[in-house]
Amino acid sequence: MPAAKAGPPAVAPLRVGMAGFGSVGAFVARRLDEGAIPGVTLTALTARDLDKAARNAAGLKSKPRVVPLVELAELADVVIECATADAFPAIARAVLGAGRTMIALSAAGVPAVPDLLEFALAHRGRLRIASGALPGIDSLRCAAEGTIRSVRLRSRIVPATFIGEPYLSERGFDFTKPTTEAIRVFAGSAREAAAAFPRHFNVAISLSLAGIGFDRTEVEIHADPGVPGAVHQVEVDAEEAQFTLISRNRPSVANPKTSRIIAPSVLAALRTLVAPIHVGS
């Protein structure tokens, strides 16, 4: 009787760690726990408040370990960063320094790590920035293979989102009181936008990294009571194409200051690491 043919070798599950466990992190963890991406398992997570994170993760079937940041990379092949821009540098150095892949949301933290490229290369780490609420990243990356003359981002944001923002309160804006018309609150470069609004303008830095850089990417921001969620309009003038792309985002139920599409964008980025077919440049 002929010997049975051996099947393909078993593939070990991709171990995923998570840095940050707020509304976005909780959504991603829950979907992974439900088996949304076959072959991927959440093995560990970290957060500023480890005790709170442990309580919030207690119901997950995968039982991820809740550990300090310094231990996270040893327990994961890929780390999802869904924390804050000010936490980004420490997370990036811990993850990339261990030679791991990092999927990041807090792109506004990138300018605070000027040696990021050299650091990642030296340690064989890889950084992928999720699209988040930004439209047209693929088209912009394609255009960047040629010559781009200009990139402009015009954003309209629900005024209440800006309550408590130091940059605006220092300039006399008060959105605790209702406003009936759109007000321009910022005009400048992407670098300046990310510094002024580190919680909200990851999109500006993502756009810059895909296109023509922090200082040449122009950003204009309006507080607009007429929009239900963040509206981002990207205008690109390039040698190969000219295009305008608009995303009209719906607010997250768990955190209205965050666009609902952000958490799924993390899952989409993670899926590209394991999917046999990937659509998009």
Per DSSP bridges, beta strands 78-81 and 101-104 are: parallel
Catalytic residue among 200, 222, 232, 278: 232
Three-state DSSP class for 201?
Answer: coil
Contact 155, 203 (CB under 8 A): yes
Exposure string (b/e) for 54-77, b if CB count within 10 Å is 16 or more? Answer: bebbeebeeebbbbebeebbebbb
In DSSP terms, which residues pair with 231 in a beta bridge?
156, 248
Beta strands in 47-182 (DSSP E): 65-66, 78-81, 101-104, 126-129, 148-157
The Cβ of residue 86 has, within 10 Å, a number of other Cβ atoms equal to: 13
Q: What is the dihedral of CA 265, 224, 139, 29, to 10 degrees?
A: 0
Which residues neighbour 61 within 8 Å (Cβ) at sequence distance 6 or greater? 33
Per the annotation, the verdict on 232 as an active-site residue is yes
Compute the distance between CA of residue 255 and CA of residue 258 in angstroms, rounded to an integer: 6
Q: How many CA atoms lie within 13 A of 106 on its CB side?
A: 24
Q: In Å, what is the CA distance from 23 to each residue of 154, 196, 250? A: 26, 23, 15
Tokens describing residue 210: 């895909």
Which residues are catalytically annotated?
232
